[in-house]
Amino acid sequence: WLAPECCYKKPLFSKKSDVWAFGTLMFEVFSNGSKPFLDYEDLAIIRAIRKAAMPPPPPDTPVLAASLLKQIWILKADYRPNFQEIGKALADIIQKSPPILPSQMVVNQLKGVKREKHFEYGNQPVNNPDGNQSIHNPDGNQPINNPVSNANVIASNYVNLGGMAL
């Protein structure tokens, strides 16, 4: 997704245009993969982007994340935050957000996706998709310290998407 300054015959690509594109990625994350301009023709999308007339954040977007997205989708590139500022804002959002249980994660609700392992926060049990609670680590892997949220997360957590482990 191009920033407004990139939608002309002589586009101006910069780190700030990458920030704009990151904003679109944020939108897609909080809309479960939906595009910002779902039913628009290409020319209408370009016209909207040139004016920074972007759609509002999806309704379930956390307030702090919606605020960050609005700061990113600013018409003038110089007024957009840089990636260091975005990183700090995201760390703040993560620290202030409650953890999401595996049963609430969209990825675990997709047909064909199977959780291969469990994970836990510290010593708190987390329900596996089969409903069992577990605080042991069958792989013997040690918890890793997450510097952003200070939550201990078991490193053996992954999902299987048709043979591709994430």
Each domain of the chain, given as residue ranges in start order, spans: 4-96, 102-165
Question: How confident is the model over 57-67, as pLDDT tens digits?
Answer: 999 899 999 99
Candidate from 75-79, 86-90, 125-129 with smallest mean pLDDT = 125-129
For residue 94, name the pLDDT band (cuts at 50, 70, 90). Answer: confident
Residue 134 is predicted with a pLDDT of 40
Residue 148 is predicted with a pLDDT of 40
132-155 average pLDDT score: 40
pTM: 0.64
Question: How confident is the model over 115-138, as pLDDT tens digits?
Answer: 655 554 444 444 444 444 443 334
Amino acid at 43: L
Sole residue written with tokens 């048709």 = 162
CATH code for the structural domain at 4-96: 1.10.510.10
Q: Who wins on pLDDT, 117 or 114?
A: 114
List all residues 6 or more positions away from 90 whose beta carbon is below 8 Å from its beta carbon. 68
Q: What is the DSSP letter of 31?
A: T
Amino acid at 150: N
Residue 84 is predicted with a pLDDT of 98
Candidate from 13-17, 19-23, 30-34, 74-78 with smallest mean pLDDT = 30-34
